[in-house]
Structure 1
Amino acid sequence: MLKLYLTNDTLNADQLKIIYQCLGALFSIWFLVGAAAIGCIVVIIMKGPAYVADPYELPVENKKLEDFPNL
């Protein structure tokens, strides 16, 4: 695209169309990557430094209950 633009003095309509389509695709990809990066940053900020939502403390086990089967 850049070679086409720099090597020709006059560009016809088809060549300009190709250049504009390539620029449109390039900017679309940049915007898509930028939006995904912003989304990733928001998720990282919302998660915070601890990667656990709510820790659940297990109850204390009573080993005596394991000696006798429930009848």
Structure 2
Amino acid sequence: MDLVGIDLQPHVSASMLSELPEKDMYRDIHRESDFINRMIREGYTGRKGKGGFYRLKNRLRQADQGIG
């Protein structure tokens, strides 16, 4: 999602919900994400913002060296 933009996720979900049949299983599992909404509000929209699920340094994705 970092590449295409985390801020697109709510729009994609809304579009899917408007087009899917009433009995589609996606409707049973779909939940709005407070976490994603907070990321968007704070500017963490992926590559076009401050980063997203990955942090960018010099426009390159950097692995967290503290893991493992």
TM-score range (shorter-chain normalised) is under 0.3
Q: Which has the higher contact order (CA 8 A, sep 6+)?
A: 2
| TM-score between the two structures when normalised by the length of structure 1 | 0.24
Q: TM-score normalized by structure 2?
A: 0.25
